C-alpha cells in the first residue's frame, strides 16, 4: 500500500512535503491533481477533494484548471519550441480566448520571475530556466493550488535557488503552493506547514520545530594517498573538433577523493568521460593504471535494464571478474528491501541508489561518479558517504562531480572547479557551498 490513513487539509501558503525516497511523497502529490488514480492507476478508498472537486470523480485534465503541477525532470515537460507558446499551452487546453492569452502569458512569466525569457527557444534554456518556465506554465491558468515535485533535484545550486525563490514568492502572494524537497533548509524558513511522508504514513508537523539533519562525515582512516592512478597532462576534450576543456593537468592518486564542482554545462561530465576513456583527448595525454573503472553516469536509467536490482549488481560482478555477491553492497546502501524488485519501478532516489550499487561492487581501481546524490534523501546520502570512504580506504582513486556541497565537505580531499573551459582548484568558500 503506497499511502494509508491519510488525513490532510492544505490551506494557503507554502506546504513542504518531506520524507525518505520511496516513502510515498510522489504518490501523495499525484493525488492532488488526480494523476493517481486516473493516469497511474491504483485504488483510493476514502474521500479526496481539491478546490471543491471530487478527485476520484474528476479527470486530471479537468483538475488541471485547479491544480498546476511541476515535475522533476525539466526536459520531459516541454511541448513547444518557444517560451511564450509553452506557457500558453495550458491556456489553450483550458480554452481561454486566444485574444486573452498573450497578456496571461506575460503575467505568468512575470509572476515566475522570468519575464526576460519571453520569446526564447526552449531548446536554449538551462534546467533551472526550464523549471521556471514550467512553473510559469502552471501559474498561467491561475490554479488554486501549485504542486512542485522535487523541482530542483536535477538543477545546479543557482538554478535550484531561483526555482525555490519563485515558489516562496508565489506562496507569499497568497497562493497555495506544495513543494516536495530533500534539501529542506532553503524552504523551511518560509514554510507554513510541513508534511512528512514515511513508509506510506503521513504526518503534519509544525515547521518551526524542524531542525536541519546533521550530515555525518565518517572519520578518515587514511591520511596519505598512494600512487598515481590517473594522470592527465595538458589534455583537451570536447566535441565536433571544438574543445570544451583545455590544458587539463590532473593527477588522482590511490586512496584520494577529488570533487568536481561548477555550473551545468561547464564540462564536469566531459572531464569524467575523458578520465574514463570514453572520450579520447584532443590534445595532451591521459594515462591510467590498469584495473577496473567504475563509472556512474548522470542518468541512472542509462544503467538499469535487468529484471531485479540484485541482477543489476550481479551483471557488473560477472563482467568485472571481481569475486563477491550482490548482498554486501545492497546492504551497504540499504537496498535489501528492494533487491528483488524491478529497478525501474523504484522511486527516483531508490533508482539512484540502485545505479550506485550496480556500478560499485568489488574494488574498482578508479571510481568516477556523476552527480551521485541526485534525488537522494539524507539517509541515502549518508550511506553513499560511507561507501565512498570505504572505497577510498581500500585504495580506490575517486572523482565525484557534484553540486552537493555537503557531500564535498564530507568526502573530498580536493575540490576542483570545472568552468570556462578550465579546471582549477576551487576557492574554499565556493567548495563549502
Partner 1 sequence: MAAWTAACLFIVLFTTNPAYKALVLAAAIITLAAGAGLRRIRKLLFAVALVAAFAALLNFVSAHLGATVLFSLPATIPAIGGPFTLEALAFGLTGGVTIGAAILAAAPLSLLLSAHDVVDALPRAMSRSGAAIAASLNLVPAVGATFVQVSEAQRMRGWRPRGPRSWAEVVVPVVLTSVESSIQLAESMEARGFGSGTRTYVKPARMRGGDWLVTGAAAGAAILFGISTAAGWAAPWYAYPTLVPPQVDLRPLAACLLLCAPVLVWRARR
> Which residues are at the interface with partner 1 (CB under 8 A)?
33, 35, 39, 59-62, 64-65, 67, 69, 71, 73, 75-82, 84-85, 88-98, 101-102, 137-138, 141, 273, 276, 278, 293-295, 297, 299, 301-305, 315-316, 318-320, 344, 358-359
CB 372 within 8 A of CB 400: yes
Nearer Cβ to partner 1 (299/334): 299
**Unique residue bearing C-alpha cell 553516469:** 297
Nearer Cβ to partner 1 (67/426): 67
Beta bridge partners, 338, equal none
Distance CA 359, CA 400 (A): 14
Nearer Cβ to partner 1 (272/410): 272
What are the cell numbers at 32?
A: 492532488
- Smallest separation, CB 307 to partner 1 (Å): 11
Nearer Cβ to partner 1 (191/252): 252
Angle between helices 309-320 and 348-359 (to 10 degrees): 20
Nearer Cβ to partner 1 (130/408): 130
DSSP for 267-304 reads SHHHHHHHHHTSS--SEEEEEE-SS-EEEE-S-GGGT-
Nearer Cβ to partner 1 (250/279): 279
- Smallest separation, CB 85 to partner 1 (Å): 5
Distance CA 247, CA 421 (A): 9
What are the cell numbers at 360?
A: 560499485
Nearer Cβ to partner 1 (94/205): 94
What are the cell numbers at 381?
A: 546520502
- Smallest separation, CB 333 to partner 1 (Å): 17
Helix (H) or strand (E) holding 146: strand 145-149
Helix (H, G, I), strand (E, B) or coil at 250: strand
CB 188 within 8 A of CB 182: no
Beta bridge partners, 286, equal 232
Distance CA 380, CA 116 (A): 38
- Smallest separation, CB 64 to partner 1 (Å): 3
- Smallest separation, CB 72 to partner 1 (Å): 9
Q: What are phi and psi of 89, to 5 degrees?
A: -55, -50
Distance CA 244, CA 249 (A): 15
Nearer Cβ to partner 1 (191/309): 309
**Unique residue bearing C-alpha cell 497578456:** 103
- Smallest separation, CB 219 to partner 1 (Å): 31
Nearer Cβ to partner 1 (186/237): 237
- Smallest separation, CB 211 to partner 1 (Å): 34
Distance CA 10, CA 177 (A): 9
- Smallest separation, CB 224 to partner 1 (Å): 28
**Unique residue bearing C-alpha cell 587539463:** 248
Nearer Cβ to partner 1 (62/405): 62
- Smallest separation, CB 108 to partner 1 (Å): 13
Q: How far is CA 133 from the centre of its chain?
A: 18
- Smallest separation, CB 44 to partner 1 (Å): 17
Name which of 266, 205, 253 is nearest 365 in CA terms.
253
Residues in the chain: 433
Name which of 174, 145, 160 is nearest 51 in CA terms.
145
Amino acid at each position: 500500500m503506497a499511502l494509508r490513513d491519510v488525513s490532510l487539509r492544505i490551506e494557503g501558503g507554502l506546504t513542504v512535503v518531506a520524507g525518505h525516497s520511496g516513502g510515498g511523497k510522489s504518490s501523495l502529490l499525484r493525488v492532488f491533481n488526480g494523476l493517481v488514480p486516473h493516469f497511474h492507476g491504483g485504488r483510493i478508498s476514502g474521500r479526496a477533494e481539491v478546490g471543491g472537486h471530487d478527485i476520484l470523480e474528476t479527470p486530471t485534465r479537468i483538475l488541471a484548471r485547479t491544480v498546476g503541477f511541476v515535475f522533476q525532470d525539466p526536459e520531459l515537460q516541454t511541448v513547444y519550441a518557444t517560451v511564450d507558446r509553452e506557457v500558453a499551452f495550458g491556456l489553450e487546453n483550458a480554452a481561454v480566448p486566444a485574444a486573452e492569452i498573450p497578456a496571461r502569458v506575460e503575467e505568468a512569466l512575470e509572476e515566475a520571475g522570468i519575464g526576460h525569457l519571453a520569446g526564447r527557444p526552449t531548446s536554449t534554456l538551462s534546467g533551472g530556466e526550464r523549471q521556471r518556465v514550467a512553473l510559469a506554465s502552471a501559474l498561467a491558468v491561475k490554479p488554486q493550488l501549485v504542486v512542485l515535485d522535487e523541482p530542483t533535484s536535477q538543477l545546479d545550486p543557482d538554478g535550484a535557488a531561483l526555482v525555490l525563490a519563485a515558489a516562496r514568492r508565489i506562496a507569499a502572494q497568497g497562493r497555495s503552493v506544495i513543494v516536495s524537497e530533500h534539501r529542506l533548509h532553503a524552504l523551511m524558513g518560509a514554510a507554513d506547514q510541513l508534511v512528512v511522508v514515511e513508509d506510506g504514513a503521513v504526518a503534519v508537523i509544525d515547521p518551526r520545530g524542524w531542525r536541519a539533519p546533521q550530515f555525518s562525515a565518517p572519520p578518515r582512516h587514511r591520511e596519505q594517498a598512494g600512487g598515481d592512478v590517473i594522470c592527465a597532462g595538458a589534455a583537451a576534450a570536447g566535441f565536433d573538433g571544438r574543445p570544451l576543456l583545455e590544458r587539463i593537468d590532473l593527477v588522482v592518486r590511490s586512496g584520494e577523493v577529488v570533487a568536481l564542482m561548477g555550473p551545468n554545462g561547464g564540462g564536469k561530465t566531459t572531464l569524467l568521460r575523458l578520465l574514463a576513456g570514453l572520450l579520447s583527448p584532443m590534445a595532451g595525454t591521459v594515462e591510467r593504471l590498469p584495473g577496473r573503472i567504475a563509472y556512474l553516469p548522470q542518468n541512472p536509467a542509462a544503467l538499469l535494464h535487468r529484471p531485479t536490482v540484485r541482477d543489476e549488481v550481479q551483471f557488473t560482478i560477472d563482467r568485472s571478474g571481481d569475486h563477491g555477491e550482490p548482498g554486501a553492497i545492497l546492504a551497504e546502501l540499504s537496498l535489501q528491501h528492494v533487491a528483488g524488485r524491478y529497478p525501474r519501478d523504484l522511486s527516483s532516489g531508490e533508482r539512484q541508489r540502485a545505479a550506485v550499487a550496480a556500478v560499485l561492487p568489488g574494488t574498482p581501481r578508479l571510481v568516477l561518479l556523476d552527480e551521485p546524490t541526485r534525488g537522494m534523501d539524507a539517509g541515502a546520502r549518508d550511506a553513499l558517504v560511507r561507501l565512498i570512504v570505504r572505497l577510498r580506504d581500500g585504495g580506490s582513486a575517486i572523482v565525484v562531480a557534484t553540486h552537493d556541497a555537503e557531500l564535498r565537505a564530507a568526502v573530498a580531499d580536493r575540490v576542483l572547479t570545472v568552468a570556462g573551459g578550465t579546471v582549477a582548484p576551487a576557492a574554499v568558500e565556493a567548495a563549502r557551498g
